Each structure stands twice: as structure tokens, then as C-alpha cells.
Amino acid sequence: MVSIRYIIFVYFTLSALAASVFIGLSLYGRLADQMSSTIQEENQILINQINRYMDSYLRTVMKLSDSLYYGVVKNADLSDGSINSQFTLLYDNNKDNVEQIALFSKEGYLMESVARLKTQADVSQEDWFKAALEKSENLHFSTPHVQYVFDNGDFQYRWVITLSRAVELTRGPYTEQGVLMIDIRYSSLEQLFDGVNLGNGGYVYLMSSDGELIYHPKAQLIDSGLEQENNLEAASYKDGNHREEFLGEKRSITVKTAGYTGWKIVGVMPIDGISLNSMKTRLLIVFIIAFILFILAIINSYISTRITDPIKELEHSVNEIEGGNLETQVYIGGSYEIRHLGTSIQNMARQIKKLMADIVAEHESKRKSEFDTLQSQINPHFLYNTLDIIVWMIENEKQSEAVKVVTALARFFRISLSKGKSIISVKDELEHVRNYLMIQQMRFKNKFTYSIEAEGQVEQLASLKLLLQPIVENAIYHGMEFMDGDGEILVKAWRQGDDLFLSVSDNGLGMTQPEPCAFPPGLGYWGEERK
């Protein structure tokens, strides 16, 4: 049996645990969202800063292009002399970031350069050259490539980004179109991105507006096919923060578009890298949940005690009443409901005591009335039949048999009356049945025989008066109806433990399958047994 205190404690504890877990998860979610927002804001700030550095770097190169075009090329007449010295001067001032400076005609012939063009080199087929002529009004930045058309003297081929533009060349009275080229050192641009870390597993890469990679920390692995990047999909992203799933990994993407070039700076941060998966964070959440659970457990213990202690006291009082002590003082205390319940139980105990007293008195009166009624029904009926037998015997001059019947009848009524007693000894009850059977045997002309058996000291025990006589009468009238001197009636009395057993059996025809008993379940009754 589970106590109410245990139930309250368990349910409240489970509720507290669920609340603690919910609060912990909510707190975890809030901290995770806050951390994610904070990291994204920091990434946004970092990428904006990188964009400013890159924009400043590219604008420096663009200013160099403007200086070469408007300060040198546009004001020079190529038919009068060379402008190589001016090219060289501007190159020397920017050689930390610039690899080559060259001027070409629209046919691809080298007009001026700080380096010697390789033999058989054809720049007219280069993408940067074609782009300058196709859109002559714009400055064009190529993607990173190896510049191999110039002979640097060190036999090295360097990665560059080519800035090209269409220019107007003056040659005497004639003007023609040409292409001004500036090779930017890729390493200078690479330095802006190297070492940029967006946290646990995060990185930054640069691509063109159509998704072609310009810089990537894993460029060599991507080129070799060992790694992949979602750059083509990212090219469609607008500036800001995005969520994507690439190769089974959820990532946070921050995009920033460079002003003039249209290049996009992309910051990649794995979602796992911004989650609260650190050991310290987990321990903090566990500590918070445990603390909340501890506080709730204390509150639970106090509340359950306040609720259950009055109930336990009331239970003790109810157990006393259940044990039969109706005089016990019922506990009345605790909350209003429990006090009201205690008052009701106390009133109920008083009513039960009064009803029990009334029932006992009524039962005693009813039992006495039933015995009196039974006796009044049995005695006249039996008396009249017996007197008829005596008259018949006397008329037939059977005086000795008449004396036996009269003697048995006298003993029968002596025990039946018993000075008004309802309880007699088993010995008297058996004697009463014996006298009855003797008289009935004479009446029915030896139609049956009978025997009475009493085991041990059972005759000294007490029994209800007239208990066996109605059953024996039933056995005679119903069991011996079709018997012709072969009838047998056996009356037994024995003791088993603390119980007294009385039985009446006969060898009559018996009866059909018994109908459902009209007695309530659990109530026994004495009856006759047919062999």
C-alpha cells in the first residue's frame, strides 16, 4: 500500500524534475540563441572589417590605374618617345603590392612595360584582355591566375590578379584603343584573409559574383578534389546571415559584397561551433537544474508534511475505530477539509455505535421471536399427530408402545420448552432429535431406521435449540416418501478445531441439480444430505 505522502512526494518531485529540465532546456536554448546571435554579430563585424581592408587595398590599386592612365598614358604621345620611366617610377612606389605594369595596343602588342614580354606570347587571348575591350568603360578584376607572359628573370611564375581597363592611346594625330594592365600580387590579397578565424571550425573565403573562388584557406584541397565548397550556392545569397546544410553539416553563413568588384566575402561557421557544447557550459546547466531541483525538493518536503501529517493522525483514529474502539477520540486538525472530515468521521462513529446497539437489540428480539414462532408451529402440529398415534395404539390395545410414545413425547416437550432457553447442550439437542425420531418411526410403521452419533466430548458443547429437528423432519417427509423399510437417517455431531459440526443424512432418492442458492454469498446453512 503506497502512502499519500509518498504519492505527493513522487508526483511533486517528478513535476519538479520536469520543470527543472524544462527550465534548463529553455535556459540552454536562450543561451544558445544568444551566443549564436553574438557570434554572428561578431562574424559580421569581422567580415565588414575585412571588406574595408580589401576595399582600401583595391582602391589603392585602382588609384594607381587612374594615375597611369590619366597622368601618364592619356597625356603622352607615343610617337614622340617612351613613357617607360614614368611606368617604372609608379611601379617602384607600389612594387610591394604590384607584380607587373604593362600597356598594350588593341591588337595585343606591348607598348610599354616594366618587364620583358616573352617571345610568342599572345595576350590578346587572355580573359583579362578581352574583358577590357568588351566593356571599355569599366575596370576589370580577373580571378587569380598564374602570369606567364612576362619574363621576370628569376624564372618564377607567380599568382596574380589582373586589373585591366581600356585606354585611349595617342600616336601623332591619331588615337587608338589600348589596354592598361596591372598585375596585383595575389599574396598581398591573401594576407588579408590568412589567419582569420571565426571560432571553432569557422573560416572565411572570397569569391567572384558568379561563384568562382578567389581565395579559400583550403584552395589546394578543393582544386585536387579532396574538399568541396558550397560557393556556387552561396553566390545567390544576399548580404547578411544565412543557414544552410552542406555535405550533412549545418552551417551559419555570413555574406558581404565588396562595392566595386562585386566580390563576395563569405564567412562559414559550423552550427556545432556556436553551440553550448563545452564542458563548462554543460556543468553550468546541470548545476542550475540540480539547484532548482534541490529547492523544489525542500518545498515539496514541507508541503507534503503539512498535508500528510494531519491525514496520518486521522488515519490512526480511523484504525482505532476499525479495530472496534468506537469510543476513541477522532483527530480534528489540519486544513479545513481535513478538520471537516475528522468531524464527520467522529459523528459517523457515534452513529455506528448507536446503530450497532439498535441492531443487537433488534436481532435479539427477532431471534427470540423466530424461535417462539418456530416452536409454536412445530409443537401443535407434532402434538396432534402424536396424540392421534397414541389414540390409535390404545384403541388397538398396544399399551406398551403407547407408553413409549407418551414417554418420548414428554421428553420431547421438556427439552422444547427448556424453561424458555434458546441455548441448550448438544446432548439435549441430540436427545430431542432422538425422541422425535422414535415417535416418527412408530408413526410411519418402521419405514426407516435411524442412528445418532456424537464424537468425543461434543455433547458438552452448547447449541441452538431446535436446530436439528426441522432438518430431520424434512428428511422424513421428503427423503423417506418412497422407502419401504429401507430408509436410513444418520445424525452426527463432531468437533473440528474450534468449530462444532452437525449433519443430517439419509439414503432417499435425492434431489435434482440444486437451484442457485437464495442465500447471500459467504453465508452457510445446515441442511440434509442425501446418499
Distance between CA atoms of residues 193 and 54, nearest Å:
9
**CA 429, CA 462: separation in Å to the nearest integer?**
9
Domain spanning 356-530, CATH architecture:
2-Layer Sandwich (3.30)
Considering only CA atoms, which of 255, 216, 263, 221 is closest in space to residue 238? 255
Per-residue pLDDT at 516 exceeds 60: no
**Strand ranges, E, within 36-107:** 98-105
With bands split at pLDDT 50, 70 and 90, how would you rate the model's confidence at 515? low
For 372-422, the three-class secondary structure string (H helix, E strand, C coil) is HHHHHHHHHHHHHHHHHHHHHHHHCCCHHHHHHHHHHHHHHHHHHHHHHCC
pLDDT at 115 over 80: yes
Of 44, 3, 75, 67, which is closest to residue 269 (Cα–Cα)? 44
pLDDT at 5: 64
Q: Among 3-12, 188-197, 267-276, which is the least confidently predicted range?
A: 3-12
| φ, ψ for residue 407, nearest 5 deg | -60, -45
Residue 514 has what pLDDT?
A: 59
**pLDDT per residue as tens digits for the range 33-69:** 777 777 778 888 888 888 888 888 888 899 999 999 8
> Do 179 and 190 form a contact (C-beta atoms < 8 A)?
no
Write the single-letter amino acid at 408: A
Tell me what pLDDT residue 167 has. Answer: 92
How far CA 188 is from CA of 45, 130, 157, 184, 264, in Å, comes to: 22, 25, 16, 8, 18
Q: Which residue has the higher pLDDT, 525 or 438?
A: 438
Indicate whether 79 pLDDT > 60. Answer: yes
Q: Please, what sign has the CA dihedral across residues 347, 348, 352, 358?
A: positive
d(CA 380, CA 373) in angstroms, rounded, equals: 11
pLDDT range class, residue 420, cuts 50, 70, 90: low
For the chain, the farthest-separated pair of C-alpha atoms sits apart, in whole angstroms, at 189
Determine how β-strand 487-496 pairs with β-strand 499-506.
Answer: antiparallel
CATH of domain 76-189: 3.30.450.20
β-pair type (240-246, 528-530): unpaired
pLDDT by residue (tens digit) across 204-222? Answer: 999 998 899 999 988 889 8
- Structure-block grid coordinates of residue 2: 503506497
DSSP class per residue in 451-490: EEEE-TTGGGSEEETTSSHHHHHHIIIIISTT-SS-EEEE
Average pLDDT in the chain = 80
Q: Mean pLDDT across the stretch 359-384? A: 67
pLDDT confidence of residue 521? 41
- State the Cα–Cα distance between residues 132 and 420, nearest whole angstrom: 141
Closest CA to 131 of 176, 180, 171: 180
158-171 confidence digits (pLDDT tens): 889 999 999 999 88
Instruction: Report pLDDT for 426.
Output: 87
Assign residue 65 a region (left: φ > 0; alpha: ψ between -120 and 50; beta: otherwise). Answer: alpha
Is the pLDDT score of 520 beyond 70? Answer: no
Q: Which long-range contacts (CB under 8 A, 24 or more apart) does 329-334 make?
A: 334/306, 334/307, 334/309, 334/310
Which pLDDT does position 424 carry in this prediction?
84
Report the pLDDT averaged over residues 479-503: 84
Q: Alpha-carbon distance 472 to 432, whole Å?
A: 11
Comparison of pLDDT for 13 and 419, the residue scoring more? 13
- For residue 291, the model assigns a pLDDT of 82
Q: What is the mean pLDDT of residues 473-492?
A: 81
Cα→Cα distances 300→71, 332, 466, Å = 86, 24, 66
DSSP state of 186: H
Distances (CA, A) of 67 to 55, 77, 115, 178, 182: 18, 16, 19, 16, 12
Residue 201, pLDDT score: 78
What pLDDT, on a 0 to 100 scale, did the predictor assign at position 528?
Answer: 44
The residues, any chain, with a CB within 8 Å of residue 277's CB and separated by 6 or more, are none
How confident is residue 297, by pLDDT bands cut at 50, 70 and 90? confident
Residue pLDDT, tens place only, 119-173 = 778 888 888 999 999 887 889 998 888 888 887 766 677 889 999 999 999 888 8
Residue 415 in contact with residue 430, Cβ under 8 Å? no
User: Which range, 314-323, 391-400, 458-467, is most confident?
Assistant: 458-467
Which pLDDT tens digit goes with each residue over 252-291?
899 999 878 889 999 998 877 655 555 666 677 778 778 8
Residue ranges of domains in the chain:
76-189, 356-530
User: In sequence order, what are the residues at sequence separation of 6 or more whose Cβ sits closer than 8 angstroms to the Cβ of residue 225?
Assistant: none
| HSE (side-chain half, CA atoms, 13 Å) at 259 | 12
pLDDT of residue 524: 35
Percent of the chain with pLDDT over 70: 85
Predicted confidence at residue 276, as pLDDT, reads 54
Per-residue pLDDT band for 182 (boundaries 50, 70, 90) equals very high
Q: Is 286 helix (H, G, I), strand (E, B) or coil?
A: helix
- In whole angstroms, what separates CA 55 from the centre of its chain? 55
DSSP H or E stretch at residue 340? helix 336-395
Looking at the predicted structure, is the pLDDT value of residue 95 above 70? Answer: yes
Distance between CA atoms of residues 502 and 464, nearest Å? 11
Neighbours of 321 (CB within 10 A): 18
